[in-house]
Structure 1
Amino acid sequence: MRLLPFYSLLTAAACAGLVSCSDSKTDVLPENVIAHNDLESVEGWAPANPALTTAKAHSGRYSMRVDNDIEYGVGYGALLAKVSPTRLKKLELSAWVLLTGKETEAKLVIEVKNPADDSQKVFWEAIALGDEVKALNKWTEVKKTFTMPENIAPTHELRFYLWRGGSSQPVFVDDITLARAE
């Protein structure tokens, strides 16, 4: 079964208010953090998403998975005006990743789109997980800083998501953080 490309983005819209949720009530996120998700607070708040799994997890019980049957993982989407009062110049995306096969094309993607014209990609860049993670079946932290283009506007939508990108082996991601890197 192959999921529609934007199924995860629709789920992300339903989960947008939950992205900063955490299991611990004592967790305080740094001021520069735009979104953090350990995937523990998502189940039950959105339509069932096969990308959410208990098969492996870096922390807690849940992580997200993409494989032959799951094209996109749980994602995040919000208008830039809601995530920052000023223009974002740089963003840092970090996550814990577990690869189960040597050949993976999976990517963690950051994109900025114009919601008035969904086909207009203002920005699209990714972390190629196969290039960053060398150990198999071991949780590895990946991190990348993205420089945002000058033409982003407060009315544009910021999105990030896990994309299978042709990988046949399962890829797991957990404990995702998106932060200002300015």
Structure 2
Amino acid sequence: MANKLPQIIGRLAAAGLLSFVAACSGSDAGHWVGDYVTDNDFEAMRGWLPDASSLTRDHAHSGQFATYVGPEREYGLTFDLPLRDASVHTLKGVAVEAWVYLPTPESAASLEVQVPLAGPDSRMGFAGSIKLADQVKETAKWTRVRQEFAFPAGLPGDAHLRIFLWRNATQATAYLDDLRVKALE
């Protein structure tokens, strides 16, 4: 029996592996369809950034921190990642979702989505935005905004996905929290 023990263990391990593979093939495990590029509530940003001055405790949708733009700050924190690192598949676009707080109706802030191409000429491979006032119908209240952006085919992997809050043409303050970016494949 002792010399058959390695064979029995080997068969049990093989049966377990086959069961695991069969279980995974019936689910979405390993398919990475709709993977998240980022999901950020800005809680873990302090201490990681060289300049965390666009983080604020004035308003937050969840936790203690949000990013903001206002009279003294034109841009909020910028998410910046090469496309080749953003998803395991080639990105055909992204679905961007966030919670925003506009204290007054004068805010013209927008959530910008850009894909600048690498190289000396700094051309833009894609540019789009969520005009916050278009989706926020009631001010002084947290509101969920969402929009999908389809990228042009053939963007190189060294192009960067950049997402940031922009004050735009106003001095009004705007807050953003709980940013989620999902890959469209």
What's the TM-score once normalised by structure 1's chain length? 0.80
Counterpart contact for 1:87–1:153, Cα < 8 Å: no
Q: Which residue of 1 aligns with 2:107?
A: 104
Match of 1:88 in 2: 91
Q: C-alpha separation between the residues in 2 aligned to 1:62 and 1:73?
A: 13
In the TM superposition, 1:27-176 aligns within 5 A as: 32-117=35-120, 119-176=122-179
Quick check: which one's helix share is greater? 2
Query: SS where residue 119 of structure 1 aligns?
Result: coil
**1:66 is matched by which residue type in structure 2?**
V
Once the two structures are TM-superposed, the CA of residue 104 in structure 1 deviates from its matched residue by 1.8
- Whether contact under 8 Å (2:34, 2:184) holds in the other structure is no
> In 1, are the aligned partners of 2:116 and 2:126 still within 8 Å (CA)?
yes
Distance 1:176 1:90, change over 3 A: same
d(CA) in 1 for partners of 2:98, 2:176: 7
**Equivalent residue pairs, number:** 153
Structure 2 residues without counterparts, runs of 5 or longer: 1-32
Shift, 1:100, TM fit:
0.9
Residue aligned with 2:52, SS: coil
Greater than 4 Å deviation, 4+ residue runs = none
Structure 1 residue 46, shift from structure 2 partner: 1.2
Which whole-Å CA distance do the structure 2 matches of 1:46 and 1:90 have between them? 27
**CA spacing shift, 1:141–1:118, aligned 2, 3 Å:** farther
Report if aligned partners of 1:67, 1:170 keep a CA contact under 8 Å in 2: yes
Paired with 2:120 and 2:90, the residues of 1 have a C-alpha distance of 20
Change (3 A) 1:31 1:146: closer
C-alpha root-mean-square deviation of aligned residues, in Å? Answer: 1.5
> CA offset at residue 117 of structure 1?
3.1
Unaligned 5+ runs, structure 1: 1-29
Counterparts in 2 of 1:124 and 1:48: CA distance versus 1, 3 Å: same
The alignment-based identity, stated in percent, is 33
Kept after mapping to 2: 8 A contact 1:64/1:74:
yes
**What one-letter code is carried by the residue in structure 2 that aligns with 1:126?**
S
- Measure how far apart 1:31 and its partner are: 5.9
Against the structure 1 CA distance between its residues 130 and 54, is the aligned structure 2 distance closer, same or farther, given a 3 Å change threshold? same
| Residue identity in the other structure for 1:124 | A
Q: CA deviation at 1:119?
A: 2.2
